[in-house]
Amino acid sequence: MMHAYFSDDQLRHHGKTFIVAGEKKPIPEVPERAEILSGAVSRLGLDLHAPNDAGMAPISAIHDGRYLNFLQSIYPEWQAAGGSELVIPNIHPFDRNGPYPRHHVGRAGFHLGDTSCPVSATTWHSAYASAQTAISATHHVRDGGANSAYALCRPPGHHASRTIAGGFCYLNNSAIAAQELRAKYDRVAILDVDLHHGNGTQHIFYDRSDVMTLSIHADPHDFYPFFWGHGEETGEGDGIGFNHNIPLPLGSGDGVFLDALDRTLAKIDDFGADAVVVALGLDASRDDPFGGLTVSPDGFAKIGEKIGTLRCPTVLVQEGGYVSDTLAENLYQFISGFSATKDRNDVTISEGPK
């Protein structure tokens, strides 16, 4: 039976508000998301295991040391200087190639890519616990011999790069999981099915050929993160040809998404992936408040079934998916479809020619 992981410390962070088109609005990445998703896990008959603490080494393998120090230290420094309740940037550099800023306001602008990732007194605790959840699920697969595991990560991670938070994301859980898998497997693929492009994940692995990144998402010409996620972004250096983006027109539903998934799974097969991380966004749902795509609960079941055909160890890392009437149902359908196909394929493999 699949193992699922979650820590109550992941509920401690709440960013409250962010700026959308110049207006202050509630952040939809709320603790209630995790509570709803955990209900779907229970309905599946799975227990939520508390993650072990693997320390900073797996996180430091992905994220820059100055960035990690910033996330841990900026809140008390900001408060001591008379700052607002939350650390929110009010200035951003043209680029990040100049001197590293000494001033706390400058560092906030340097490391926080937009207003959707404010830092509070509890942000680091939740982000760290979320990363440990992904690490424990990964170790269960890598070291425990399981064919799959689910990490209920909250806050999510795929918009976080080595040095920059963004899009509700602070630590890139999917990237951390992939790097941990690389300790055993030569070739790892990250398949991102979130509504939004996984720009942080792409940034981290863009010049590498050992980790293939693939993302199906709403067309960034019209949707966040806007500047990344276009089809012509294929990698650089050793990574040329190992980054694949499939942007979908706004409003696309089950059929369009599943066709894109078929093309993506074929690329993973051609790559010869030894292990896969699925950046499991559920916000492509027709009921999600972001409203970019229109995948149905039955569509998520089919997405899970198709991904379950991959004949290699798979770690499911929760990304987006926001409070709606079908959020729990979408996760239930995805994991049900995935597990049924995954288990059937494992039986087929074990009963192959001797």
Quote the pTM value: 0.95
Higher-pLDDT residue of 349, 64: 64
Please give the single-letter amino acid code of residue 300.
F
CATH C-level class of 3-350: alpha beta
Nearest partner of 131 among 224, 67, 229, 63, judged by Cα: 63
> pLDDT digits over 159-213, tens only?
999 999 999 999 999 999 999 999 999 999 999 999 999 999 999 999 999 999 9
Beta bridge partners of 159: none
Label residue 353 exposed, middle or buried (CB < 10 Å: 0-12, 13-18, 19+). exposed
> How far is 228 from 244, CA to CA, in rounded Å?
12
Backbone angles phi, psi at 216, to 5 degrees: -110, 125
Q: Which residues are catalytic?
A: 159
pLDDT tens-digit series, residues 313-347:
999 999 999 999 999 999 999 999 999 999 887 64
Mean pLDDT computed over every residue of the chain: 95
pLDDT of residue 49: 97
- Specify the DSSP class assigned to residue 316: E
Average pLDDT over residues 45-53: 96
220 has a pLDDT exceeding 90: yes
SS3 of residue 145 by DSSP: coil
pLDDT tens, position by position, 283-301: 999 999 999 999 999 999 9
The predicted model gives 104-130 an average pLDDT of: 97
pLDDT higher than 80, residue 80? yes
Q: Is the pLDDT of residue 91 over 50?
A: yes
**Which residues partner with 24 through β-bridges?**
19
Q: How far apart are CA 331 and CA 280, in angstroms?
A: 9
Q: Which alpha helices (H) appear in 245-317, and where do they start and end?
A: 254-271, 297-307
- Return the amino acid letter for 167: G
pLDDT of residue 67: 98
Q: Which H or E element spans position 183?
A: none
SS3 253: strand
Strands 23-26 and 17-20: antiparallel
Q: Which two tokens stand for residue 167?
A: 């899009």
Instruction: In whole angstroms, give the CA distance from residue 296 to residue 316.
Output: 20
For residue range 119-152, list pLDDT tens digits in order. 999 999 999 999 999 999 999 999 999 999 999 9
Length of the chain in residues, anyone?
Answer: 354
Q: What is the pLDDT of residue 346?
A: 67
**Is residue 225 reached through a cis peptide bond, with omega within 30 degrees of 0 on the bond before it?**
yes
Say what the pLDDT of residue 352 is.
31
3-state SS, residue 255? helix
Please state, in angstroms and rounded to a whole number, the distance separating the CA atoms of residues 177 and 182: 9
Q: What angle do CA 246, 130, 224 make, to 5 degrees?
A: 30
Residue 93: pLDDT band (50, 70, 90) is very high
Domain ranges in the chain?
3-350
> What tokens were used for 75?
């809140």
